């Protein structure tokens, strides 16, 4: 298990969180601390163990292909931070 | 590729990634309608808008469509599959992650077999087909041309968000633009005839990207590839790939290197251009979606879907070309038009005459269908009647002129050609005595033409034969008329 | 007994018998809410109009001959659950003004059973916290000592029920968020088996762990609320399709024939003499009720925290991506969409949420996924196996719900010390097991003036809710710890 320091700025970028320099330092230290604790897991031998994604086993939960009512558009757009006509409006999208 | 300096020394290596919207009543994870177009943001609900607290539940029909598509291409449908989250932010993706499949797709492997215009059979292996959900649609404003570059803001419509989408990834087995289009056509007609998608590029229900690289002929290594985007018709796929191959060859010939990048196809300029240089490695943080449970695909379900598969286009094509003797173009025309092909099959079954069936179906009937803007299978002509007509022609009961007239009348709804012929006495006149009488009358009335003929102007023959046919109301056997006329004029 | 103090069972009985109207109950509760909210701060929103309308409907239905299991019962809805038309904030600034256009399944089921929604209860932002101090929308105090926290994250629901501002509080529990505040506020807090109650309409924290459950003043009320909420929901693919056995009608008063496991790894001597004695007494009381105590081991329980603090943040980092300023909630404008995202999320999320998003993003990121996320999932398997092995030897497991009574505000400034509050509850969450906290006595914390409640945590195998509630009922019935003290609120009837 890794004990590297977290590149907080890179992670914050992935998570789309603007951080101040202060926050980078503070979160960096706190996350480092947490990782110390979490690294205890390295002591567990999990080589023969399957991963658990869902603790209660169920399979094939599906719905029939049936149309159900959609939401009223005004109700939906009333919550929009910015709308234009029937659309949600967002600032300029820049290709990555 | 005439302008390429050394075309024979390079070969292209092409892989294609397609996104195909599945045809279902409702979306992938919610009950909103899956339908093209409509007023923006009217087909949305808490689930496909990713409202806080909403949860996805998968659409059974979409999963069965995936199994059908996999089986059609001979792919493996594993016993176990699951959904994963692909995490990245984009304004038209409501959850800011896409429910997709990472390491356990619903189908793995498989082969797309297709043919080229000259009839060459080709094949392209599939890596996998996986199931995911579509995004919404952004309209870019402020740039004047609706493009993202230079736009100042965008408008988002989530009607398409959550529509079931299959992503079909090919191995790099394609070697030319022609092959790319052949592959795409095979994919399109197969998925369409399975009923799993409309596969309309113009409506965006089929979208594709091509990975293109070149290498010296004979080499087994791969060159640096570029990913071509923004192609919105098969024609633009063809042009884009040709242009990109040329660009890469020219670069290499100049001693430069191809840069790994995404390139956009410019339809107007006819060239590709760099969209983003050097992919910044995406970190999608895939992990199993904890809102969904794994799928165990019962073998009984797979067999049920297999049993319900229709005859696939490839097998139809082979049947038409090898058993019925159709040429590649004819067979393709039929294979690409399933209702017409089914009509054709019914005519063949009733007439046992594929050659005449091809002539009538692809000839007269298709012409009428074009003229009237109505498909053959929706017209008043039924396969049994066309088979009757074929039988009348084969028995020489009617000549081809009458046949043409009859088919027009059948189109208009006059019903059985046999009944018409009997009712109206349209059977061909093959009695030499009767024909001789017509000829004598015509020759008597056209002495000048007879003189002309005997003076060497033999082209009046056509006119005279025409007069005879007219006199017989078209019923005279034209071959017989020709023969007897010649005898009389020259005898 | 004053109307507001009556249990849900009592109120429902009387409203169904039409000796009391749901409207009268609602008016009494709303008046009391007015009186005590200034001190307690349980609610983010009080739903005066909706409550009165719902009460009138209940009275109408009863008048028409219906018998409703929770007729007229005042309900506190944790503010991470959608109720159509109400502001639903999840305790976050980013959703401060968001109005839900739909209702969570669990909420709807309680309303259908006759509950009257009094208000939306405060909580730690996105259910991340153990004290309710992480709410961006206000402070909730412990009704038993206003200088102390009510616990979290379902602190508002717990305080509301403890302060008689509701009879049933809806909570959600991801790593202890129902059980810990129940212990802190002298309540029964019940987290059913994962998947028993639909999560549809519950604003997700960690999808594979989140579970809705009730906070009540009696075990019977918890059972009634559970019976009304539990069961398959077609809108939640993880909700379990299994027959629900009603629990409220089968509550026992003894534990004859029940084997109760005491966990060797959870040594209460580490918690100080007072608390150690309190749990010793609790275990002896179980024995006195007829239970057989057996020593069991949960060797990997100690890894619970580490496992949880990878899995829950990983899931939350993805679940909370949708708060992006595009479709709803807060937006801070930016020059382009990415700047808008970054500014919106920076301004909208509090520090604890940011911490967890960062750690989760990191644990899933390229190069770390196997070492952190996958390893944690494997550790989760081991923890679940430990419980399986333990349940081969016993029917239920008893242990503390929290390592201390409610602490004072700002007592846990270091994040990890707050995370430790969930030490006893997290392993059960990871294993998906049904578990509850039931009042088990009082301790006066060092420097404190009033005795504070403690909770006994009982855990059952998957799907054994009936056995679990039954045992808790027997224990409650004999010990009656909850009624030993009353909330220290001026305006509470009979209070000091
Ligand atoms: Mg894709
Ligand atoms: Zn929808």
Q: Are B399 and B428 in contact (CB under 8 A)?
A: yes
| Catalytic site residue from C42, C45, C135, C177 | C177
Residues spanned by the domain of A34: 3-42
- Cβ count near C427 (within 10 Å): 33
Domain B432-490, what fold?
Arc Repressor Mutant, subunit A (1.10.10)
- Confidence check: pLDDT of B469 > 80: yes
Structural domain includes residue A88: no
Nearest-neighbour CA in chain C from B89: distance (Å): 8
* Model pLDDT, residue C492: 52
Closest to C211 (Cα-Cα) out of C434, C427, C400 = C434
On chain B, the residues whose CB falls within 8 A of the CB of C210 are none
Percentage of residues in chain C having pLDDT higher than 90: 95
* Model pLDDT, residue A3: 46
Closest to C462 (Cα-Cα) out of C424, C435, C488, C440 = C435
A-interface mutation test, from C361, C380, C430, C461, most A Cβ less than 10 A away? C361
Phi, psi of C437 (to 5 degrees): -115, 135
Which residues are CB-contacts of B387 (< 8 A; sequence separation ≥ 6)? B347, B350, B351, B357
Distance CA C42, CA C142 (A): 9
SS3 state at B154: strand
Question: What ligand has the least distance to the C-alpha of B168?
Answer: 1
Q: What digits encode the pLDDT tens for the residues A66-89?
A: 999 999 999 999 999 999 999 999
Distance CA C303, CA C386 (A): 12
Structural domain includes residue A59: no
Gap from CA of B28 to ligand 2 centroid (Å):
9
Distance CA B242, CA B244 (A): 5
Mean pLDDT lowest for which of B49-53, C27-31, C444-448?
C444-448
Which is it for strands C292-296 and B164-170: parallel, antiparallel or unpaired?
A: unpaired
Question: Tokens for A72?
Answer: 């009223």
Instruction: Tell whether omega for the bond before C153 is within 30 degrees of 0, i.e. cis.
Output: yes
Q: What digits encode the pLDDT tens for the residues C89-120?
A: 999 999 999 999 999 999 999 999 999 999 99
Gap from CA of C282 to ligand 1 centroid (Å):
56
Nearest-neighbour CA in chain B from A96: distance (Å): 7
SS3 state at C333: coil
SS3 state at C262: strand
For the question of residue C177 being annotated catalytic, the response is: yes
Q: Are C453 and C494 in contact (CB under 8 A)?
A: no
Q: What digits encode the pLDDT tens for the residues B1-12?
A: 444 444 468 999
- Confidence check: pLDDT of C385 > 70: yes
SS3 state at C318: helix
* Model pLDDT, residue A95: 67
- Confidence check: pLDDT of C11 > 60: yes
Please give the average per-residue pLDDT across C376-393, as a whole number. Answer: 97
* Model pLDDT, residue B434: 84
- Confidence check: pLDDT of C495 > 50: no
SS3 state at B348: helix
Distance CA C370, CA C399 (A): 33
A: neighbours with 3+ CB pairs under 8 Å?
B, C
Structural domain includes residue A66: no
For the question of residue C153 being annotated catalytic, the response is: yes
- Confidence check: pLDDT of B279 > 90: no
Q: What domains can you pick out in chain C, each with its CATH number?
A: 3-254+436-483 (3.90.1300.10)
Q: Are B356 and B394 in contact (CB under 8 A)?
A: yes
Residues 30-89 of chain A with CB under 8 A from chain C are 30-31, 33-35, 37-42, 44, 46, 49-56, 58, 61-63, 71-72, 75-76, 79-82, 88
Distance CA C189, CA C435 (A): 9
Which residues are CB-contacts of C224 (< 8 A; sequence separation ≥ 6)? C8, C9, C12, C69, C70, C248
Nearest-5° angle of CA A36, CA A37, CA A38?
95
**Residue C485: left if φ>0, alpha if ψ -120 to 50, beta else—which one?**
beta
Contact A30 C415 (CB under 8 A): yes
Gap from CA of B56 to ligand 2 centroid (Å):
9
Distance CA B481, CA B219 (A): 67
For the question of residue C239 being annotated catalytic, the response is: no
Instruction: State the maximum Cα–Cα separation within chain B, in Å, rounded to a whole number.
Output: 99
Q: List, in sequence order, every residue forming a beta bridge with C189; answer none if it has no partner.
A: C215, C437
Structural domain includes residue A67: no
Q: Are C427 and C209 in contact (CB under 8 A)?
A: no
Structural domain includes residue A7: yes
* Model pLDDT, residue B400: 83
Distance CA C220, CA A70 (A): 39
Nearest-neighbour CA in chain C from A30: distance (Å): 8
Q: Give me the number of domains chain A comprises.
A: 1
Distance CA B317, CA B341 (A): 10
Rounded to two decimals, the ipTM of the complex is 0.96
Q: What digits encode the pLDDT tens for the residues B6-29?
A: 446 899 999 999 999 999 999 999
List, in sequence order, the alpha helices (H) in C391-434: 415-419, 426-431
Structural domain includes residue A85: no
Domain range annotation of chain B: 10-302, 332-424, 432-490
| Whole-Å CA distances, B330 to B123, B166, B341, C393 | 21, 31, 11, 76
Q: Are C328 and C407 in contact (CB under 8 A)?
A: no
Q: What digits encode the pLDDT tens for the residues B73-115?
A: 999 999 999 999 999 999 999 999 999 999 999 999 999 999 9
Please give the average per-residue pLDDT across C236-257, as a whole number. Answer: 94
Gap from CA of C239 to ligand 1 centroid (Å):
28
Of residues B467 and C347, more confidently modeled: C347
Residues 451-490 of chain C with CB under 8 A from chain A are 462
Structural domain includes residue A38: yes
- Confidence check: pLDDT of A5 > 90: no
On chain C, the residues whose CB falls within 8 A of the CB of B49 are 327
* Model pLDDT, residue C491: 55
Tell whether B222 lies on the interface with C, counting CB pairs under 8 A.
no
Of residues B277 and C165, more confidently modeled: C165
Residue with tokens 């990191």: C362
Contact A2 C346 (CB under 8 A): no
On chain B, the residues whose CB falls within 8 A of the CB of A95 are 148-149, 275-276
Of B46, B56, B285, the CB nearest to C237: B56
Q: List, in sequence order, every residue forming a beta bridge with C43; answer none if it has no partner.
A: C121
Gap from CA of B45 to ligand 2 centroid (Å):
4
Q: What digits encode the pLDDT tens for the residues C409-438?
A: 999 988 988 999 999 999 999 999 999 999
Please give the model's pTM, rounded to 2 decimal places. Answer: 0.92
Nearest-neighbour CA in chain A from B42: distance (Å): 6
pLDDT-derived band at A1 (thresholds 50, 70, 90) equals: very low
Mean pLDDT lowest for which of B298-312, B436-450, C424-438?
B436-450
- Across B279-369, the runs of DSSP E, i.e. the strands, are 287-288, 295-296
Contact A31 C355 (CB under 8 A): yes
Of B50, B58, B156, the CB nearest to C322: B50
- Confidence check: pLDDT of C496 > 60: no
Mean model confidence pLDDT for chain B: 92
Contact B53 C237 (CB under 8 A): no
| Catalytic site residue from C7, C92, C131, C153 | C153
First-to-last alpha carbon distance for chain A, in angstroms, is 32
Of B53, B57, B89, the CB nearest to C237: B57
Mean pLDDT lowest for which of B153-157, B442-446, C17-21, C146-150?
B442-446
On chain B, the residues whose CB falls within 8 A of the CB of A68 are 26, 30-32, 45
């Amino acid at each position: 298990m890794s004990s590297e320091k977290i590149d907080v700025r890179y992670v914050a970028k992935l998570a789309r969180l603007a951080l101040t320099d202060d926050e980078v330092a503070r979160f960096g230290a706190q996350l480092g601390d947490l990782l110390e604790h979490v690294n205890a897991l390295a002591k567990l031998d999990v080589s023969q163990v399957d991963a658990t994604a869902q603790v209660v086993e169920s399979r094939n939960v599906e719905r029939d292909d049936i149309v159900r009512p959609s939401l009223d558009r005004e109700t939906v757009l009333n919550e929009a931070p910015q709308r234009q006509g029937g659309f949600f409006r967002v600032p300029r999208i820049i290709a990555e | 590729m005439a302008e390429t300096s050394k075309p024979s020394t390079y070969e292209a290596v092409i892989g294609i990634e397609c996104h195909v919207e599945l045809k279902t009543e409702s979306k992938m994870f919610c009950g909103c309608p899956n339908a093209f177009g409509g007023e923006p943001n009217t087909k949305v609900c808490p689930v496909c808008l990713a409202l806080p607290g909403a949860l996805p539940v998968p659409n059974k029909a979409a999963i069965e469509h995936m199994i059908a598509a996999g089986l059609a291409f001979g792919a493996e449908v594993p016993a176990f599959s699951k959904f994963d989250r692909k995490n990245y932010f984009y304004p038209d993706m409501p959850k800011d992650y896409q429910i997709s499949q990472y390491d356990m797709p619903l189908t793995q492997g498989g082969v797309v077999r297709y043919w080229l215009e000259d009839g060459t059979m080709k094949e392209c292996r599939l890596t996998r087909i996986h199931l995911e959900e579509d995004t919404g649609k952004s309209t870019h404003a402020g740039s004047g041309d609706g493009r993202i570059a230079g736009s100042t803001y965008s408008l988002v419509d989530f009607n398409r968000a959550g529509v079931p989408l299959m992503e079909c990834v090919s191995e790099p087995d394609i070697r030319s633009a022609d092959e790319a289009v052949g592959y795409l056509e095979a994919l399109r007609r197969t998925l369409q005839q399975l009923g799993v998608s409309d596969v309309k590029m113009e409506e965006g229900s089929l979208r594709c990207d091509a990975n293109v690289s070149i290498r010296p002929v004979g080499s087994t290594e791969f060159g640096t590839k570029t990913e071509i985007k923004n192609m919105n018709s098969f024609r633009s796929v063809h042009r884009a790939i040709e242009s990109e191959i040329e660009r890469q060859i020219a670069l290499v010939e100049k001693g430069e290197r191809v840069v790994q990048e995404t390139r956009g196809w410019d339809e107007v300029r006819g060239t590709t251009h760099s969209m983003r240089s050097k992919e910044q490695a995406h970190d999608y943080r895939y992990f199993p979606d904890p809102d969904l449970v794994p799928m165990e695909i019962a073998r009984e379900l797979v067999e049920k879907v297999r049993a319900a598969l229709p005859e696939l286009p490839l097998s139809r094509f082979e049947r038409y070309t090898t058993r019925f003797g159709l040429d590649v173009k004819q067979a393709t025309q039929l294979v690409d038009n399933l209702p017409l092909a089914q009509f054709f099959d019914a005519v063949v079954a009733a007439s046992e005459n594929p050659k005449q069936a091809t002539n009538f179906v692809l000839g007269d009937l298709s012409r009428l269908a074009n003229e009237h803007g109505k498909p053959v299978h929706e017209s008043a002509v039924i396969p049994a009647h066309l088979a009757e007509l074929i039988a009348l022609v084969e028995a020489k009961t009617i000549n081809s002129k009458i046949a043409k007239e009859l088919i027009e009348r059948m189109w208009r709804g006059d019903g059985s050609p046999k009944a018409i012929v009997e009712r109206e006495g349209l059977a061909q006149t093959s009695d030499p005595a009767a024909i001789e009488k017509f000829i004598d009358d015509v020759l008597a009335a056209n002495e000048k033409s007879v003189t002309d003929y005997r003076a060497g102007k033999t082209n009046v023959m056509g006119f005279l034969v025409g007069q005879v046919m007219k006199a017989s109301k078209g019923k005279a056997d034209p071959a017989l008329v020709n023969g007897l006329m010649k005898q009389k004029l020259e005898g | 007994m004053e109307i507001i103090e009556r249990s849900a069972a009592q109120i429902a009985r009387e409203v169904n018998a039409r000796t009391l109207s749901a409207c009268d109950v609602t008016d009494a509760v709303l008046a009391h809410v007015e009186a005590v909210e200034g001190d307690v701060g349980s609610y983010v929103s009080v739903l005066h109009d909706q409550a009165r309308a719902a009460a009138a409907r209940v009275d109408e239905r009863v008048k028409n001959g219906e018998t409703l299991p929770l007729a007229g019962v005042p309900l506190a809805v944790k503010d991470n659950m959608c109720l159509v038309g109400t502001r639903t904030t999840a305790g976050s600034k980013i959703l401060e003004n968001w109005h839900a256009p739909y209702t969570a399944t669990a909420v709807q089921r309680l309303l259908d059973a006759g509950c009257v929604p009094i208000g939306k209860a405060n909580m730690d932002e996105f259910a991340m916290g153990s004290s309710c101090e992480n709410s961006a929308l206000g402070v909730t105090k412990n009704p038993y000592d206003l200088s102390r926290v009510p616990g979290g994250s379902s602190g508002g629901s717990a305080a509301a029920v403890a302060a008689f501002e509701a009879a049933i509080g809806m909570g959600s529990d991801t790593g202890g968020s129902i059980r810990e505040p129940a212990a802190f506020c002298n309540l029964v807090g019940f987290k059913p088996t994962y998947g028993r109650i639909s999560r549809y309409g519950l604003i997700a924290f960690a999808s594979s762990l989140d579970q809705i459950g009730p906070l009540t003043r009696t075990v019977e009320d918890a059972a009634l609320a559970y019976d009304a909420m539990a069961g398959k929901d077609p809108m939640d693919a993880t909700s379990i399709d299994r027959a629900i056995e009603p629990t409220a009608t089968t509550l026992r008063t003894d534990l004859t024939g029940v084997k109760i496991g005491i966990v060797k790894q959870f040594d209460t001597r580490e918690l100080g003499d007072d608390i150690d004695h309190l749990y010793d007494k609790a275990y002896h009381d179980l024995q006195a009720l007829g239970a057989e105590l057996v020593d069991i081991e949960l060797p990997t329980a100690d890894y619970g925290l580490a496992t949880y603090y990878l899995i829950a943040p990983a899931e939350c980092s993805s679940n909370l991506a949708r708060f992006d300023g595009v479709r709803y909630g807060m937006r801070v404008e930016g020059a382009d969409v990415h700047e808008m995202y970054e500014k919106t999320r920076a301004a909208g999320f509090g520090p604890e949420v940011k911490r967890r998003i960062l750690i989760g993003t990191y644990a899933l990121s390229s190069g770390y996924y196997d070492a952190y996320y996958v390893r944690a999932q494997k550790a989760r398997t081991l923890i679940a196996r430990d419980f399986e092995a333990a349940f081969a030897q016993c029917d239920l497991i008893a242990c503390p719900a929290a390592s201390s009574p409610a602490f004072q505000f700002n007592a846990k400034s270091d994040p990890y010390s707050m995370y430790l509050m969930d030490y006893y509850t997290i392993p059960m969450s990871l294993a998906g097991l049904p578990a509850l906290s039931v009042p088990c006595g009082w301790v006066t914390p060092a420097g404190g003036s009033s005795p504070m409640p403690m909770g006994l945590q009982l855990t059952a195998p998957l799907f054994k809710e009936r056995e679990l509630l039954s045992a808790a009922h027997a224990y409650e019935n004999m010990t009656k710890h909850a009624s030993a003290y009353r909330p220290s609120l001026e305006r509470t009837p009979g209070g000091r």
